[in-house]
Every structure is written in structure tokens, then in C-alpha cells.
Amino acid sequence: MSTKKEQIDQLITYIIQGIEDVKGNEIEIIDLRDLENTVCDYFIVCSGNSNTQVDAIESSVRKVVSKALQDKPWHVEGLENSEWVLMDYVDVVVHIFQKQIREYYDIESLWGDAKITSIESNY
């Protein structure tokens, strides 16, 4: 039986794989565990270049996580216009932005006290 931390680490690994499979970019992991009153343990934030790519990232993350872990998001928002899609996996929340929307909301700076890890893309 794996621990909760191991399960979350696996989930993060597969989410990032799903993002990278369709060339999502500017991937960052925001660790919220040391902050008070947070809704989850981690945010994973990434960017897509268009509505189509944002949709593709969401679909890829859903498929990769489902296949690997037999898990699905508890809730998904934003598919109507695909400018900012939120995928809630309870302990991990994925934010998929179009670049200009990400710059506008700048959620990384809202969580400035959190540890932020940037993932280098292999493409």
C-alpha cells in the first residue's frame, strides 16, 4: 500500500506527462503544503497557445492519469471557452491557461509564499 505522498507524487508525474505529451509549456508546480488555509496540496500550472491546445492538454491529462492510476478529476471547469481550464484532483489542482490569460491572472504571484518548481520541457 503506497502512502498518500507517494500517491500524490505519482499523480503529479502523470499530470506532467499528460501536459508534455501535447507540448503544453511553462509548467510549474506550486507547493501549497506549508501555507495555511489552502484548498489542496499542489497547483500545477501550464500554458497552451490556443483553445485547441488547452483542450488537448486537458484531454491528455485526463487520459494519462486515468490509464495509469484509474483516477479521474473530481471536477473540471472552463471547457466552455478553454481560456483557463481547471482540473480538480482534490490534492492536486491543474490550471491550464492560454498564455495571455495566465499573464493577466498571474496566480503564481498570488501564491508567492509557496515553493514553485519550474519543469523544463524536452522540446
| Model pLDDT for residues 6-50, shown as the tens digit of each residue | 999 999 999 999 999 999 999 999 999 999 888 899 999 999 999
Q: Amino acid identity, residue 23? A: K
Which residue type sits at 29?
I
pLDDT on residue 98: 97
Look at domain 4-111 and name its CATH class.
alpha beta
* Pairwise CA distance, residues 44 & 70, whole Å: 19
pLDDT score, position 100: 96
> Three-state SS for 110?
helix
**Helix (H), strand (E) at residue 19:** helix 4-21
Mean pLDDT, to the nearest integer, of 63-68?
Answer: 98
- Give the global pTM: 0.94
Q: What is the residue extent of each domain of the chain?
A: 4-111
Contact criterion met (CB below 8 Å) for 21 and 63: no
Task: Answer yes or no: are the C-beta atoms of 76 and 58 closer than 8 Å.
Answer: yes
